[in-house]
Structure 1
């Protein structure tokens, strides 16, 4: 009896697992579900190859050529908005990449390519695109043919550089956020010194670090911004930051203004 129950249970599990791979058609017949995961990754690769070819063929970079180059990739990926994916994470990344492309194309029509603001926005989107492509390569096996590999490698180098820069900036931001500025006053109470000592616990040797100290009164109103800086802050080194102001602040909020990384 136990064997019969076990066999029935095993058969039920097989049926249930099989149902995950089928769907009902309009006439009630069951059809195999075709997931778009691999097709989408391959479509990204084909879009890149055609975009690289187009970029090589144009003589001048204009808003129109940038829009057309971007549209090549959009056309390859647009059908996947309505496709079913087995991996929800891959689906999310494909749609996010498509959104980046559409935002880039819209940008070409919103302002002139001769505007400095255009290149700031375009480069930001380009960096995000490079990081997204790096993720497709690393996690989902994105490939292009041999003739286009060097162009993809350039994008991947850009993605790695942006990723590294982001990680470094986050580490420095966290380091600055950990600083606790304390207030002291001179004997006459005319001036106030705001000082904090912090240890560089990152793996980075920092140079030309500038911090912004926002000084707030008892009502939470920002009264003044002042600066504290140091020329170098090596890993493992303790540095004292100091700023002087006439404002007797009830609260100090510190933020990172600028820095560089030593060679």
Structure 2
């Protein structure tokens, strides 16, 4: 923990003066400020969470992914290079940044596909049982698998129940039907992604 804190503080001390430096490239300046802000966030995680706890690991992973994605930007767009072992470490960080950016893109893509879906309600005949259905096209270039969706079903009194819809595979350009059943007569339906995989 002390070593992690010392490393982050060393970067903060080195990089913070760059906030006030004049840059010819305003995008680079924005990225530098973003990087310094992520270093500050990293220090907040160290200070506010118990090292090794589930909360620490989750928050640290978030800021680490942000940091490595910014480092990838500096390497790809501005030719950042270091020497010797430092360069090897930088390459490892950039590899994580690439992976994190890919995962973030996948997450944003599927969340957008599901959150924009319109689920239709069908009364199964006695007013006590309902089917909720949406046909959704995968307009992305990502092939998803094991997609599980939670439907937040809100009745006229605003009471929420949950129902679940699932598909095994969902290729780019493919339309699939998500369907769930419930005894809730919903007046509002909010779909969210519970789980998914991305096909290799």
TM-score between the two structures when normalised by the length of structure 1: 0.71
Give the total of aligned pairs: 200
Within 5 Å, give how 1:79-158 maps onto structure 2: 79-158=17-96
Bigger relative contact order, structure 1 or 2 (CA pairs below 8 A, ≥6 apart): 2
Within 5 Å, give how 1:1-263 maps onto structure 2: 63-218=1-156, 221-263=158-200
Residues 237 and 83 of structure 1, relative CA distance in 2, 3 Å threshold? closer
Q: Are the equivalent residues in 2 in contact too, given 1:64–1:108 (CA < 8 A)?
A: no
Question: How large is the RMSD of aligned CA atoms in angstroms?
Answer: 1.7
Q: Distance in 2 between matches of 1:140 and 1:159?
A: 15
Q: Are the equivalent residues in 2 in contact too, given 1:210–1:229 (CA < 8 A)?
A: yes
Q: Unaligned stretches of 5+ in structure 1?
A: 1-62
Superposition deviation, residue 234 in structure 1: 2.5
Post-superposition Cα deviations, 1:190-233, rounded to whole Å, max 9, x if no partner, equal 101111112222222221111111112346x2431211112222
Partner of 1:14: none
Which structure's CA Rg is the greater one?
Answer: 1
Q: Unaligned stretches of 5+ in structure 2?
A: none
Q: Secondary structure at the match of 2:132?
A: strand
Q: Distance in 1 between matches of 2:65 and 2:122?
A: 44
Q: Secondary structure at the match of 1:226?
A: strand
Q: Distance in 2 between matches of 1:79 and 1:237?
A: 51
Residues 152 and 194 of structure 1, relative CA distance in 2, 3 Å threshold? same
Q: Distance in 2 between matches of 1:129 and 1:176?
A: 28
Post-superposition Cα deviations, 1:215-263, rounded to whole Å, max 9, x if no partner, equal 12346x2431211112222233322111111111122121111100123
Q: Distance in 2 between matches of 1:196 and 1:66?
A: 48
Post-superposition Cα deviations, 1:92-148, rounded to whole Å, max 9, x if no partner, equal 221221121122123222232131211111111111110000111122221112442
Q: Secondary structure at the match of 1:247?
A: coil
